[in-house]
Structure 1
Amino acid sequence: MSSQRKTSTKRPPRSGAQRMLALDAARGLAIIGMIAVNTGPRGDDELLEMIYRVPYGRASLLFVLLGGIGVSLMTRRSREQHAPLPWVSLLWRCVLLLLGGLALQELAHDVSVILQIYALLILFSLPLLRVSGGLLLLTTGISALLGPVIWIAVQTQTDGRFDRDPVSASGPPWEIFTGIVLTGPYPLIVWAAPFVLGLWLGRLELTDSRISTRLIIWGAAAAVAARLLSALLVAAFGEPTTHMAWERLFSAVAHSQMPLWLIGGTGSAVFVLGLCLKIHAWSHPMVSPLIFLGQLALTAYVGHLLILAFVVRPGPDTLVQGMIASTWTVAALMAFAWLWRKRFSRGPLEVLLRAPRLSRRPR
């Protein structure tokens, strides 16, 4: 009997648990990528820095893609068993992330906070949580192809008056809304594409090795094809001269809000997700810091903004300084996540994502 118990404790985690560990690992990688990009430095074209900044325009897309998968998994019971949607929990997350993101944008970290768009993407997704998979893919395509066209059209009609400034609490409500939906650094009309694709991916049997193989193949194909097509179109029609030039649609430059960047960057995110799902060693203690970082993603994201605002800025000035600052920031957040998870099941900010229950008074 005792030998059977010892053997059972060494069994690999069940497929559902393995999938969650893979998603946690991918989320941890997204956090590390955003830390590296947000820490900087920026603007240098040296080869080493270009390699260091590979996550630029990709880590945030991976983060949003995983957000869509998370919402899809969160509402699976409502979709498959026709149970009521967790409206209170979803709306609570929207309000919490929106207000928190607006407040965090006021800090001097020189980062465009992503939490505001994350909040409105959850709100935007509510009518889509029970629609067919085909309609989700159609919505993804509309956002990826028409969103950038609308973005440029608004630039043209307004003579480029909006400059993609981050959305903060100091602005009036109308500017906050239009900034998140259209004119900010993460316009919803464009960024809905990776989030809704995540809603669709969350419906797949991600524990199936054939699915992870397809994600790797199709993700890599999309990433490479988008870059090659952009290079060919730019060579044929020239580089766009302004944000209002329609040739901008050919660009694959990170955060250009253009279709080829969006397709290529989202393809990279799908590729990373497929790789994480393919790996079955996430339960090993050696990788637990990465897993715990992904499980405390909101806490880690907010933590890195505080570190940037109060410790790192106004630097770094060189690539070496940036790499050192990024490394110790990641190490500090991993250590905190590891220590916290040894005692608590949820992160300090992750606990807040749970909507408070209003208990009824006994009669």
Structure 2
Amino acid sequence: MSSDEAIRGAVVGAPAATKKRTEEGPGKRLIGIDAARGLALIGLMAIHILASYQEETGEPTLTWQLFSGDSAALFALLAGLGLALSSGGRIPHRGRQMTANRVGLVVRAVLIAVVALLIASLMPPVDPPAYSILIYYAVFFLLAIPFLHLGPKALFICAAVFGIVSPILIQQLPPVLPDWVSYNPTLEHVLADPVSIASQLLLTGTYPALPYMTYILAGMALGRLNLRSIPVQAAIAGAGAALAILASLASYVLLYAVGGYEALLATPGMTMHDLDEALVYGPELVPNTSGWWLAITTPHTNMPLAIASSLGMALLALGLFLLIANKAGQWLSPLAAMGAMTLTLYSAHLLVLALEIHYDEPALWFLVHLGVAVAFAWFWQRSVGQGPLEKVVSLSVKGSRRLVSGKTTNSGGPTGGLATHHSDTSVQTPRDTTNYTTDEELPGSPDQASTGQDPRVSTDRPTRGTPIRTDRGTTINLADDEAPGYTDQIGPVRDPGSGTG
């Protein structure tokens, strides 16, 4: 059989299920992901502005109980999900295309770091109104690069390893690590004491990268699944609920049934009041005086069960939003509009907080921040599209990817489709105008792919006589009875004689 015959046979023999999935609109965004990201943004706004405890009783407020720790975890989970979707979704990219994804991720991390350092320079150096997560995001993305090619099983395993090992490092290493520098490190801090800044960003800061890689890698694993499948969506929600409940139950048993609370209370200098407060709000640094601290679920302590609890809540939120979007996606539009441009909205939120005019009327200012964010996102998305900062980052990342992958803009298509070099093994139509990815994402996250299939393969349905280019540079034409099968193709069609496997 000739190579051209083999290619035609592979195209015609592709499974019909994929054709149905393609015709159902793979180019549509998963609005549930954007809505979940919008909720995470609201949670961070609430934590920054509203009180964390009641002045009369000292008890935690509803804001603290609902959002502390969990909002940041949801943000990180969705960032990881975006990484997977932008690097191939269910079929990870390979070769030069994966290299281009990695280079693009470096560019994105650098740009996010620049934004973070600029905002930090405007924040009050002492007792700032917010601790920005942006500089940590830059580190998350850099650490994720070696894992970008992995499948879901390997990613879940790596996430579990980070979730177990990182808390031990956080508890045991601070005595030998450099002193903590600043809640919001500036460029001056980075240049003056890079070792201390690295220590803070990895282990001792507000959102330390090593434990947060649990959320990033778990999100990447989710991005390798079929997120349009309702059973998968339900499984995500169910697994999240189970994980959150089991983590809280395990912590309760270890502390109050097995003797952990008494053991912590017996440590030198510990009083019942101090311990109870630490279990609600967390200690400044997790003491290394007892291994029982590993059993707490307090937000931002980044202990194993605390990570598991926040990860469970993040999975539950994502799964529920995906399920709701199937039947009532239009009701999620305002929330999703916010979630589609959170880099812009979060940055603006921090800049306004830096003015420190919200302390006297926190509830009013929270409503102002929320109302302006919803209104701006809603109207900007419909009149312009991508958020301002998202657009800048998107253009830079896409440009770097094209330089590495060797792809150039195709002037033949109205949306500027990519023309692939002849050495590329993907099947290509002359005008592929399908938008596989969008860049309206969470703070600094990669483009959210609109479908889980391999973005190297066009979903355009070729008509009679459409030329298909093989990896050897030869061209074949599809007849009428062959054209329908082309939309069924999931992966790249390879020439059996090329030796590429």
Which residue is equivalent to 1:342?
382
User: Are 1:84 and 2:97 an aligned pair?
Assistant: yes
Does the CA-based 8 Å contact 1:19-1:277 persist in structure 2? Answer: no
Closer, same or farther: CA 148–118 of 1 in aligned 2, 3 Å: same
Which residue is equivalent to 2:226?
205
Which residue is equivalent to 1:40?
50
Letter paired with 1:325: W
Closer, same or farther: CA 207–19 of 1 in aligned 2, 3 Å: farther
User: Are 1:263 and 2:308 an aligned pair?
Assistant: yes
Letter paired with 1:324: L
Closer, same or farther: CA 62–176 of 1 in aligned 2, 3 Å: same
From the two aligned structures, give the one with the greater helix fraction: 1
Give the counterpart of 1:74 among 86, 91, 94. Answer: 86
- The DSSP-based 3-state class of the residue aligned with 2:211 is helix
- The DSSP-based 3-state class of the residue aligned with 2:386 is coil
Closer, same or farther: CA 156–228 of 1 in aligned 2, 3 Å: farther
Deviation at 1:41, TM superposition (A): 1.6
Residues 109-128 of structure 1 mapped to structure 2, 5 A cutoff: 109-128=128-147
User: Are 1:135 and 2:154 an aligned pair?
Assistant: yes
Which residue is equivalent to 2:73?
61
Which of 34-43 and 199-208 deviates more? 34-43
Q: Please list every run of 5 or more consecutive structure 2 residues that lacks an aligned counterpart in the other structure.
A: 1-22, 271-282, 409-501
- The DSSP-based 3-state class of the residue aligned with 1:127 is helix
**1:37-86 per-position Cα deviation (integer Å, ceiling 9, x unaligned):** 11122333769963222111101100010000001101117825655122
Deviation at 1:179, TM superposition (A): 1.5
TM-score (norm 2): 0.63
Deviation at 1:90, TM superposition (A): 1.2
- The DSSP-based 3-state class of the residue aligned with 2:388 is coil
TM-score (norm 1): 0.86
Letter paired with 2:208: P
Which residue is equivalent to 2:120?
105
Question: How far apart in 2 are the matches of 1:26 and 1:169?
Answer: 32
- The DSSP-based 3-state class of the residue aligned with 2:389 is coil
Deviation at 1:25, TM superposition (A): 0.6
Give the counterpart of 1:167 among 185, 189, 207. Answer: 185
Letter paired with 2:157: L
- The DSSP-based 3-state class of the residue aligned with 1:76 is coil
Deviation at 1:111, TM superposition (A): 1.3
Which residue is equivalent to 1:277?
322
Question: How far apart in 2 are the matches of 1:24 and 1:17?
Answer: 15
Give the counterpart of 1:144 among 163, 182, 190. Answer: 163
Question: How far apart in 2 are the matches of 1:226 and 1:19?
Answer: 32
- The DSSP-based 3-state class of the residue aligned with 2:299 is coil
Which residue is equivalent to 1:9?
none
Deviation at 1:103, TM superposition (A): 2.4
Which of 290-299 and 34-43 deviates more? 34-43
Q: Please list every run of 5 or more consecutive structure 1 residues that lacks an aligned counterpart in the other structure.
A: 1-12
Question: How far apart in 2 are the matches of 1:83 and 1:282?
Answer: 40
Closer, same or farther: CA 43–338 of 1 in aligned 2, 3 Å: same
Question: How far apart in 1 are the matches of 2:117 and 2:197?
Answer: 9
Residues 18-33 of structure 1 mapped to structure 2, 5 A cutoff: 20-33=30-43
Does the CA-based 8 Å contact 2:106-2:142 persist in structure 1? Answer: yes
Question: How far apart in 2 are the matches of 1:308 and 1:25?
Answer: 24
Letter paired with 1:24: D
- The DSSP-based 3-state class of the residue aligned with 1:227 is helix
Percentage of identical aligned residues? 26
Closer, same or farther: CA 174–81 of 1 in aligned 2, 3 Å: closer
Does the CA-based 8 Å contact 2:34-2:339 persist in structure 1? Answer: yes
Closer, same or farther: CA 217–169 of 1 in aligned 2, 3 Å: same
User: Are 1:237 and 2:282 an aligned pair?
Assistant: no
Question: How far apart in 2 are the matches of 1:281 and 1:40?
Answer: 33
Question: How far apart in 1 are the matches of 2:181 and 2:187?
Answer: 17
